Chain A
Amino acid sequence: MLNILRSRWTLPVAGLVIGLAAVIILWDLVRPHTFAGTVMQSPQPAYSFTLTGPGNQPVSLEDLRGKVVLLFFGYTSCPDVCPTTLYEMRAMLDALGSRAAQAQVVFVSVDPEKDTPQRMQAYLANIDSEERFLGLTGDLDTLNEIAAQYGIFFQKRIISETGAYLIDHTATVLLVDGEGYLRVVYPYGTPGEAIAADVRYILKH
């Protein structure tokens, strides 16, 4: 052992290892993180809103400052896009582990006719038994105003003579950072794990 330590290769090898470690650390510091969505450079904070949450209590975006907010617009009768996205959001929180408490998934209903706060709470608890999602709703005019500001289109589409309907809507997920700035826009289908990596990066920086 002592012979190895005293070998004439010891210093050069140690130098090489330290050098490589330094380059890796330096590269990690300067390389840009590759986000899974489109990064925004909004100079202004995300549009502020107040909607109705669990227990009919008002909840505003400002109440969530300090947390990374993942905003998604949908409705509880949504057949495919909403549950798929919410399962990805659950996977995102699972991937975050102990840091999940620093992220908040917010599901905004675009179906105020049916989606009461109670109905939303039950629906979301069914998808995430740990009840980590926050469901919000409001009147149609308020929802129209908020949706327009967040680039969300939604429109009711009657599908039967009985009046049954679907709601066509934009299915992007929007990431608002802890300071209230819109940072990333994710297209439908972005894996939860990939979003978790972005959330981790934002929390770290």
Chain B
Amino acid sequence: MKSALYWKILVGVAAALVIGVLWFALARPVLVLPRIRLAPGYSLVDAAGQAVTSEDGRGKLTLYSFAYSRCTADCESIYQTLQSIDQSLAQQPQRVPEFRFVTITIDPAYDTPQQLAAFNLPFTPQVVDWRWLTGEEKILKNVSGGAFGVLYQPREDGSVFFAPRYVLVDGEGIVRAVYDGAQLDSQRFLEQLTLVYEEISQAQGAARLAYEAAHFFACYPH
């Protein structure tokens, strides 16, 4: 009789484990953004001529975008998107700390640091640190065209054909989201930014197991 009871307990524990795992995979109580690939390593310069490396982004969340100073209508949507994110963040009572914008030029032949310094952004960021980066053409080709996968091609008239893209990189230098197109819904982006921030700040001890399980079961936001 007692042996039967033990077997019932054993089956009960096993069933509870299986149901728990299934519940976690289906109900997705913890959401994460995937760790897609490594963001590129680089050493570039900003508009002040100061060296900026990928290591400067350690511990920070970075939204990379790609543009060029001579760009007119094609880049307006990009600036509007960055402005919208900045304004939305400014209105949040609890902001994600250590978040920054980095825009990498896709026209390095023209966009020297002096040229970038003279370029006036159509808006002044209220809360987000924002940097333009430029550098050697072949390095930028590795970084933007190669590792970030941005499609761009200079035209004869000095303009650049390109497919706008935003890339969210976490503080460990890992790409967490790629958004194609110039338009990016700032609310949707902020929700996803918050997910990454929460994971980084909370994934310790037992919570880390839950976050790793969320990655394992691909509990990504729709």
Contacts and interface: CB of A to CB of B under 8 A. Distances in A.
B41 A147 contact: yes
Given A15-B6, A170-B54, A42 B209 contact: no
Contacts, number: 111
B40 A151 contact: yes
Nearest to B51: A155
Nearest to B148: A148
Best-surrounded residue of B34, B35, B41, B139 (most CB of chain A within 10 A): B41
A152 interface: yes
B129 interface: no
Most B C-beta atoms less than 10 A away, residue of A44, A170, A187 = A170
Contacts of A172: 173
Interface of B is mostly: helix
Contacts of B173: 151, 170, 172
21 contacts: A15-B2, A23-B10, A32-B212, A32-B213, A34-B209, A39-B212, A40-B38, A41-B35, A44-B37, A148-B40, A148-B147, A151-B147, A153-B42, A153-B43, A153-B54, A154-B43, A170-B54, A170-B173, A182-B38, A185-B172, A187-B172
Interface of B: 2-3, 6-7, 9-10, 13-14, 17-18, 21, 34-43, 51, 53-55, 138-139, 142-143, 146-147, 172-174, 208-209, 212-213, 215-216, 218
Interface of A: 11-12, 14-16, 19, 22-23, 26-27, 30, 32, 34-35, 38-44, 141, 144-145, 147-155, 168, 170, 172, 174, 182, 185, 187
